[in-house]
Chains A and B, each alone.
Chain A
Amino acid sequence: MKSINWFHYAAPQRFYPLAGRLVPWFGTLAVVLTAIGLYIGLWVAPTDAQQGEAYRIIFVHVPTAWMSMVVYLAMAAWAAIGLVFNSRLSSMMATALAPTGALMTFLALWTGALWGKPTWGTWWVWDARLTSELVLLFLYIGFMALHSAIDDTRRADRAAGLLAIVGVVNLPIIYFSVQWWNTLHQGASVTFTEAPSMATPMLMGMLVMALACWMYCIAVALARVRLIMLERERHTVWARQALGTA
């Protein structure tokens, strides 16, 4: 088996065409999986005995909430690699993930509010789970604001990267908040250790939508990192060729 030399792709001019080839694949997978997931979620899955049809928000709420944390972890990991190895592309990846992560966090909060109103009787409570998720949104916004406030891009990478790494401490707080504190938010619906308590089509719909969300985030992050590469390297020969101005 021929091994792939990953460092080969650490140079933006080599990663740019690779990412360009990957985007349509992940994008197509996202569209197909969303169609399947919504079909299962809206047609196949039965009405919930307690919550009626309101529970169907789960098919977007849980996937976006998961991705809000996964994307943050990926962003902080790329930021850390960027800080340790001083690699440009890693920091660009971190920057490319931030807006999508912020969007996932916003959607988790939005769909949560629309789910909370009919089931809890309120849009919002200052409960540990909800509050720590809001803090996550502020961390994303802080990362983007700090990055754009510093003119020197490499210094911006380092400062915002450090913020991203420190903010990782919030992730276990979000994840375990429903166990550590008495929250209005329910406990985990799916765990690695126990058999799921949900009906099979409900669980299937949720997992397919989660997978769709993964694919979407990867596709958009790759599309955005290509853009960031061009923006930062616009005066180089390869970027000019890619922009069609060479």
Chain B
Amino acid sequence: MNWINFGDFLEMGGYGLYVWGSLGMCAATVVAELMVIRFRRRLLAQEAGDERATEEHTA
């Protein structure tokens, strides 16, 4: 076991900023990437639905 308590774990032997800055950026960008895909999917379904509605309207 490397850590005495949670504070010690966060401190990372004085390198907390660097270690958590690395892991944090990885987590943040992964979440962002997944959200972008989800957003694009929703937008596409919406646009396709709108197009369909216009087609039916004009037909």
Contacts and interface: CB of A to CB of B under 8 A. Distances in A.
A56 B33 contact: no
B30 A110 contact: no
Interface of B: 1-3, 9, 12-15, 17-19, 21-23, 25-26, 29-30, 33-34, 37, 40-41, 44-45, 47-49, 51-52
B18 A240 contact: no
Nearest first, the 7 closest Cβ-Cβ pairs linking A and B are: A53-B13, A54-B15, A111-B22, A53-B12, A114-B18, A245-B52, A52-B13
A143 B40 CA distance: 20
B18 A118 contact: yes
Q: In which size bucket is the chain A interface?
A: 35 or more
Contacts of B19: 53-54, 56-57, 114
Interface in A184-223: 216, 220, 223
Contacts of A121: none
Contacts of A60: 22-23, 26
A56 B22 CA distance: 10
A244 B45 contact: yes
Specify which of A43, A46, A54 lies most central, judged by the most chain B CB atoms within 10 Å of its CB.
Answer: A54
A99 B44 contact: no
A208 to B, nearest CB: 15
A99 B34 CA distance: 11
Given A103-B29, A107-B26, A57 B18 contact: yes
Given A56-B19, A111-B22, A234-B48, A43 B33 contact: no
A43 B1 contact: yes
Contacts of A38: 23
**Dominant secondary structure at the A interface:** helix
6 contacts: A60-B26, A61-B22, A107-B26, A107-B29, A243-B44, A243-B49
A115 interface: yes
Interface of A: 38, 42-43, 45-47, 52-54, 56-57, 60-61, 64, 99-100, 103, 106-107, 110-111, 114-115, 117-118, 216, 220, 223-224, 227, 230-231, 234, 239-240, 243-245
A64 B48 CA distance: 36
Most chain A CB within 10 A, of B3, B19, B30, is at B19
A110 B18 contact: no
B22 A103 contact: no
